[in-house]
Amino acid sequence: MSAVESALDVLSRAATMMQERFHCVYISLRYVLFNFEQNYVLKCLDMIRSQFKILGCSSCFD
């Protein structure tokens, strides 16, 4: 497992425990990563985001 995958795994596990706060982390990470053009990581974060929509956290991302 790469460092990126490990970090995303930790983030996604933490996010399931505190869904209402995760959107702030997501938005911050996405902003930082976008500036560094880490498209692979952005794709992974988008997958996490869509998972949260499934879990009923869509208000975080509207």
How far apart (Å, rounded) are the C-alpha atoms in residues 1 and 34? 22
What are the tokens at 1? 């497992």
Dump pLDDT digits (tens) for 14-62: 666 665 555 566 666 666 656 555 566 667 777 777 766 655 555 554 4
**Domains of the chain, residue spans:** 3-56
pLDDT at residue 6, as a whole number: 78
Does the structure show a pLDDT above 70 at 2? yes
How far apart (Å, rounded) are the C-alpha atoms in residues 51 and 47? 6
pLDDT at residue 13, as a whole number: 72
pLDDT at residue 40, as a whole number: 65
Task: Give the burial class of 18: count Cβ atoms within 10 A of its Cβ; 0-12 exposed, 13-18 middle, 19 or more buried.
Answer: exposed
Q: What is the mean pLDDT of residues 2-6?
A: 77
The reported pTM is: 0.29
